[in-house]
Structure 1
């Protein structure tokens, strides 16, 4: 297995540990929410996941951060084969990609809009049994 294929396997494993489906559309959406450069394409992400290409270093570092792992481990692997880096503290296992995307979008809102959203959430929570 060549280095691109090995990276692909580590990327898919890191996505699974992060609670994400190993699908290009999922990773593309999450990645582009955070990347400050030119957005990656669906085809580019698909190439990472199928072992046809490797991301550039800045993209690799962001991928690792988003997936809660180390960039070197994601790129080169651990000393023990097949081992995925321990997930960094962050999202709980109960949040899914939709929850994370909603929170990321919430954080982009202006303060006044955030307050309105918090009030709606509080009103809904007050109705819980």
Structure 2
């Protein structure tokens, strides 16, 4: 499981098939993300599963106050990312855990986690 402050690379270059003679491979930008916060979505055992859209709406409500100060004016080059591995079965079992992350194109140094409002995220 990811911990806040841990950056993960997506996709792995080994997972991208090589181009054939007639294909042109577009400029490949490696994208990474950093989990900066964990959230527990509201709801108890009697709360009905809100559906995929409802889960993402709740994640947006929970994550944006944590992510917006870190992203600031760089929205577009930095993107809010909500990670919630929830479906009806896991929701009914009581899982309400989600992760708030920031997605960015590499290169980037430093970390967002713990940087606070106005953080630069170590871009450079």
Work out whether the TM-score is over 0.5. Answer: no
Structure with the bigger percentage of strand: 2
Whichever structure has more helix as a proportion of its residues is 1
Report the TM-score when normalising by structure 1. 0.30
